Amino acid sequence: MLLPIQLLIVIVQANVFLDIWRDSGFFAIRRPRTGKILCWFSYVYFAGMVLRYVLTMSIYPERRWFTGTISIFFHWVLAAYLFVLGRFQVWAGGGASPEEQMPQSERK
């Protein structure tokens, strides 16, 4: 069951990438509200996986670092992907770019 779900995730990510790269298709439409929701979801998702890591390490200390925790790290990568996609949607939808959000004194 896990492999088909992982393949589906990769296919959806490839479709998102192609739509944005070509600037056409369903995922190329800028949706700032959806972007904000994706960003907030990515925070919760990432925090949940941090909690999962902490609990796993406290219950199974022999699994330190990479033994049995690779799935947690993969979820962190997915959370980062959702955050980047969300920021793109917010920024591309007319929101301020990261540089414009920075105080004038900190800009280069």
Same domain flag for 24 and 35: no
State residue 37's pLDDT score: 95
Q: Which residue's entry shows tokens 């600037």?
A: 23
Same domain flag for 5 and 42: no
The sign one gets for the Cα dihedral 53, 55, 69, 37 is negative
State residue 93's pLDDT score: 58
Residues in Cβ contact with 31 at an 8 Å cutoff, skipping those fewer than 6 apart: 89, 93
Least Cα distance to 13 among 72, 77, 71, 69 occurs for 77
Same domain flag for 85 and 36: yes
Classify residue 94 as exposed, middle or buried by CB count within 10 Å of its CB (0-12, 13-18, 19+).
exposed
Q: Which domain, by its residues, includes 5?
A: 1-30
Least Cα distance to 30 among 40, 39, 19 occurs for 19
Same domain flag for 37 and 9: no
State residue 97's pLDDT score: 53
Classify residue 42 as exposed, middle or buried by CB count within 10 Å of its CB (0-12, 13-18, 19+).
buried
The per-residue pLDDT string of the chain (108 residues; one tens digit each, 9 = 90 and over) reads 888 988 999 999 999 999 999 988 888 888 899 999 999 999 999 999 999 988 988 888 777 766 777 788 889 999 999 999 999 999 865 555 555 555 555 555
State residue 6's pLDDT score: 87
Least Cα distance to 35 among 97, 98, 82, 99 occurs for 82
Same domain flag for 35 and 20: no
